[in-house]
Chain A
């Protein structure tokens, strides 16, 4: 009976590893938080927002408010596949500091991530950012637990008043040198303000051992402080949809994305602008 229980745990854990890695993003360690970002199909490395610490730290340079937020994301209606995320942004001089925490999974299989990031403006049209990440992954049975310290960095360029381009590198050091198993990811994208109320962006992402993924998304301010979002990702042919509303200092976002076989991922986030 004990063996059966172990076998069950292993199968369930492997299923979770699979779901956490391939169902949503090609690299499970490149966590993207935020219901707003989820609504735009995660095409967000060029779009400044509260959750930029998770996508492109250079965008923090544009975020000059002391703010805090939480996000909960549920994949395919399975509670064990939930991700809780929290972040704080603090403007410090010419740069902004971000502190983030993320928890995925359940007690037998969980992945925690903490990070501290900094984004700053280098010139009138270039910003750069860097983040130090710490990952802790706990697996049941004889599987090795993972403790990894790595980093990621990004840059954003204002090509014109309306066009923005961005690049982001996650864990660019080959693992054979660092003796870890965390994949590397390179992302590049561009976005354009088509009008005062409509933004559209696209990005390409590639991770070690994975295929190229293209994501596109838009955000439309349908009414004052009310946003509608949509997006598409070639990974699992995923469509996304989202809503956002700002009430004085509190912003609420909802986001949903589909998976061609597994169902819907839903996400909700609350962001409070302290000052």
Chain B
């Protein structure tokens, strides 16, 4: 196996060198020869071995981003949506040998550069037979190819065509219970239940999602319906009609400043592929109860012109202001958590009817894509802000919002430019512009600039930015990814953001800064090492001064070391050390954790085990750790205080019919007088295919 691995690495590097050295035609001939004569025999042998090890490696990239998102207090749902997208991708991987550019763009972590490069390569050279072939495509490297592995399929469609009506169904149900938690004020049982069903037949698919959070009643309203219920039917085509969805759907236009109910990854300093300008319409299968559209949408394409039209009428949660006779005067805020476990929270459920409609039109020139969009939002009850709060004087008020935007992306040599300009009610604007440069196949450089007027509001949008609403934000981000030496990858970035108006815990215009560097050494398929440093600076109120709040800086530095070792194809071990310091609190936090992942060879069981010890001086120096979990469930606990966190998860593959996962997690915190408190949770998942 060792010699095969060495061969494989040699091929991978050979591809990369070739593609940089020779003319494209020569490269093509060489690639075809090597692919047919050398790779194919090895590919199937290698793939089996590589999958387990590299999936383990991918967890580093995924967990880094998920932990960053979880740490963003301003957008608590972002990490959940991000992980749901990854779950959906792993459930329904992109068949890259059959995919067009639109399908490939489902791999949202790839840059536009990479999507185009991959589509062009398949069009010119035919099917890809190995993950190592991807590493040789211009714009990709071993690292990027490995990141794609769990989310792609190299197989041809078994039925040969998506027009064949072979019906496939998947049913998944999660049960989550925290035995130690007993809240007598809750309306329902402490059990959290999630069910997802999906049926597909050729180009048609349909599905539904139901969810009940802990403490909620399963059925509410009259007639009684599940606490959260979402459903869709979808048709996907290759001709005039690319996609039609009836029911619930998510949508994003361009950079997302106007419409984006899909994923929002914030500003990722060391993941350049996340900056993109692309329209995206897909069925809604997530559990965020207030951030999706309900109605109908169609994606139409005639030659190089693409049109997306949609209409949505959805009921969302809101906090009402009542008159003395209990009639609703206006809405003071939109309630976004989706939790309705008490009588008062249940009153907020589905209080507001939000009607949204709009369209996006784009045209693809040879080296440029230009798009324009328009959308209107109508609220059944007007929204009014608290006039006494200076922080909110630019916040949205009223019952209607109109948005226009134009966006573009263009390829000029090795530079991809992209951007978007949006107007909200013809008065407030959002500007986003960026560039992605690939001076060589080993180096990618990104720059992103954005400016949002203080009053810019998109109730269903989320463009690139640090804060949840982005209004009043102006910033610039730069980063690069570089293959510095054989198997050594360096990514680094810096973001500086200015806020032109007041924000939470900050009673003055302010700025923030983020720096990050990640160094990855993939010594072999068996062993990898990662070091990262992350610095955050922001300005907050100084509570020690009386009268007008003073200004003080808040800084944190986080160091992380990660070692991963996969001695055999069915096992991996990871050790992580994290250390964080926070100023001016002068608090520090540290953790040491050990992950063990083992897949039994004689019985269809896979085991995940983690043991983690942590010690932090305060909540400010808390540390986040991403955990493997059930599908469509996630766990990134914030570890604070002194204690331990451990979990064990078992997956049992019951033939090709079903899968069972059980996870038991335990967090133990030692209190001041040595008393040890613990919180445990039991999760169970059953998944059927039929």
Does B bind A? Answer: yes
Interface membership of chain A positions 192-217, coded 1 if the CB is closer than 8 angstroms to chain B and 0 otherwise:
00000000000011111111100000
Chain A residues whose CB sits within 8 angstroms of the CB of B643 once the complex forms: 208
Q: Does B527 contact A (CB under 8 A)?
A: yes
Q: Contact: A176 with B676, CB < 8 Å?
A: yes
Name the residue among B565, B593, B612, B644 with the largest chain A CB count within 10 angstroms. Answer: B644
**In-complex Cβ contact of A157 among B567, B612, B644 (8 A):** B567
Note all chain B residues with C-beta closer than 8 A to A207. Answer: 613
Chain-A contact segment, one of B43-51, B315-323, B571-579, B629-637: B571-579
Binds B, one of A4-12, A183-191, A225-233: A183-191
List CB contacts (< 8 Å) of B84-135 with chain A.
none
A204-B592, A206-B590, A206-B615 in contact; A123/B676 too (CB < 8 A)? no
Report whether B594 and A174 are in contact in the complex, using a CB–CB cutoff of 8 Å: no
Q: How many residues of A contact B (CB 8 A)?
A: 29
Give the residue name and chain of the B residue nearest to A190 (CB): B563
B181 interface contact, C-beta 8 A: no
Is the Cβ of A123 less than 8 Å from the Cβ of B567? yes
Known A165-B563, A172-B646; judge A208-B594 contact (CB<8 A): no
Separation of A208 and B674 alpha carbons in the complex (Å): 11
**Cβ–Cβ < 8 Å partners of B575 in chain A:** 165, 167, 188, 204
Secondary structure dominating the interface of B: strand
- Shortest A201–chain B CB gap in Å is 14
Which A residues are CB-close (under 8 A) to B666?
174, 177
By a CB distance below 8 angstroms, the chain A residues around B668 are 174-176
Cross-interface CB contact of A212 among B611, B615, B646, cutoff 8 Å = B615
Q: Is A237 an interface residue (CB 8 A)?
A: no
Number of residue pairs A-B, CB distance < 8 angstroms: 80
B677 interfacial by beta-carbon distance below 8 Å: yes
B163 at the interface (CB under 8 A from A): no
Interface flag for B225 (CB, 8 Å): no
* B62-102 vs A, Cβ < 8 Å mask (1 yes, 0 no): 00000000000000000000000000000000000000000
Q: Does A22 contact B (CB under 8 A)?
A: no
Residues of B within 8 A of A123 (CB): 567-568
Is A145 in the interface zone, CB < 8 Å from B? no
A208:B642 contact, CB within 8 angstroms: yes
A188 to B192, CA, bound (A): 36
Residue A181 at the B interface, CB < 8 A?
Answer: yes
Is the CB–CB distance between B594 and A169 below 8 Å?
yes
B580-621 to A contact mask, C-beta < 8 Å, 1/0: 000000000011111000000000000000011111000000
Known: A208-B642, A208-B670. A188 touches B592 (CB 8 A): yes
Q: In the complex, what distance in Å separates the CA atom of A209 from the CA atom of B641?
A: 9
Nearest CB of B to A182, in Å: 11
- Confirm or deny: A125 has a beta carbon within 8 angstroms of a beta carbon on chain B: yes
Shortest Cβ gap from A215 to chain B (Å): 13
Bound-complex Cα distance A125 to B524 (A)? 15
Please, which residues of chain B bring their CB within 8 A of the CB of A174?
A: 644, 646, 666, 668, 676, 678
Tell yes or no: A155 within 8 A of B by CB: yes
Distance between Cα atoms of A58 and B18 in the complex (Å): 46
Q: Are A184 and B613 in contact (CB under 8 A)?
A: yes
* B615 & A209 in contact (Cβ 8 Å cutoff): yes
B residues 645-690 with Cβ under 8 Å of A?
Answer: 646, 666, 668, 670, 674, 676-678
CB distance from A179 to the nearest CB of B (A): 10
List, in ascending order, chain A residues with CB within 8 A of B674's CB. Answer: 181
Q: How far is the CA of A189 from the CA of B486 in the complex (A)?
A: 25
Cα distance A47–B348 in the bound complex, in angstroms:
62
Tell whether A250 is near chain B: CB-to-CB under 8 Å: no
Q: How far is the CB of B599 from chain A (nearest CB, A)?
A: 15
| Cβ–Cβ contact B594 & A212, under 8 A | no
Query: A186 and B611: CB pair below 8 A?
Result: yes
A190 to B562, CA, bound (A): 13
Determine if B594 and A167 form an interchain contact, defined as CB atoms under 8 angstroms apart. yes
Q: Are A188 and B594 touching (Cβ within 8 A)?
A: yes
Most buried by A among B592, B593, B674: B592
Give the residue among B568, B575, B612, B614 with the most A Cβ atoms within 10 A.
B575
Give residues 11-45 of A contacting B (CB, 8 Å): none
Ordered by A's residue number, 15 sampled pairs between the chains whose C-beta atoms are within 8 Å are A157-B573, A167-B573, A167-B594, A174-B678, A176-B676, A181-B674, A184-B644, A188-B594, A204-B575, A206-B591, A208-B642, A209-B642, A211-B615, A212-B579, A212-B591
Residues of B within 8 A of A (CB): 526-527, 563, 565, 567-568, 573, 575, 577, 579, 590-594, 611-615, 642-644, 646, 666, 668, 670, 674, 676-678
A-B pairs with lowest CB-CB distance, top 5: A206-B592, A174-B668, A188-B575, A176-B676, A206-B613
